[in-house]
Amino acid sequence: MTPTTPSAPAGVFAVQCPNPRCRKFMLVEQHDRGKTVACLLCKTPIRIAASSSTPPPLDSKSRRSPSGSAS
C-alpha cells in the first residue's frame, strides 16, 4: 500500500493491486481503512491497512550519538 500522493485529493490515498499480473494503482478513501476492497480491474481482494503511520526504519549510518556527532 502507498500513502497519500501529492496529486490525490485529501482523504484519498493510492494502493496497488498485489496480483502480479495486474499491479493496477487505484485511489481508496480514508473510510476504507481496515477493510478489504476488490481491485477495479481483476477483482483481487486488497486488504487496506488500518493506519498509514509506519515510521521509516533507522539506518545505522543515520544514528547519532547523544552529543550530536556521528558515531
pTM for the model: 0.56
Q: Which of 20-24, 27-31, 48-52, 60-64 bottoms out in mean pLDDT, i.e. has the lowest?
A: 60-64
Segments making up each domain of the chain, as ranges: 12-47
Beta-bridge partner residues of 15: 26
Category of 68 on φ-ψ map: left (φ > 0), alpha (ψ -120 to 50) or beta: left
- Contacts of the segment 40-44: beta carbons below 8 A, 24+ positions apart: 41/17, 42/17, 44/17, 44/18, 44/19
pLDDT at residue 10, as a whole number: 74
- With a cut of 70, say whether residue 50 has pLDDT above it: yes
